[in-house]
Amino acid sequence: MSEFVVTVHRNFTTAEQDKLAAASAGGLGPAFTGYRGENTEAGDTIATIHVTAETDEQARDRVVDVLDLSAAEAAQVQVRPGR
């Protein structure tokens, strides 16, 4: 397993923010190892989520599933290798 950093830039709902906070605390399982949100001037958030997965695609899929993103939103998700 490798760590990946998944970045999602959008206007998150309160429920999504709660899911990300739970992920950061380990409440969504061991695959999610951290979360940091940064608010932008436009009122949306850049979420940086640390995910343990076999591949970058699996990391993206885990975040897309947890946040229940649409196909268009999922296409905007960025993944890079972690530490």
Going from the C-alpha of 56 to that of each of 50, 74, 79, the distances in angstroms are: 11, 13, 6
Residue 76: pLDDT band with limits 50, 70, 90: very high
- In total, how many domains does the chain have? 1
Give the CA angle between residues 41, 44, 46 to the nearest 5°. Answer: 100
Indicate the average pLDDT of the chain.
88
Q: What percent of the chain has pLDDT over 90?
A: 45
**Residues 32 and 24 sit within 8 Å (Cβ to Cβ):** yes
What is the domain range of residue 29?
Answer: 2-53+61-81
Q: What is the share, in percent, of the chain residues with pLDDT greater than 70?
A: 98
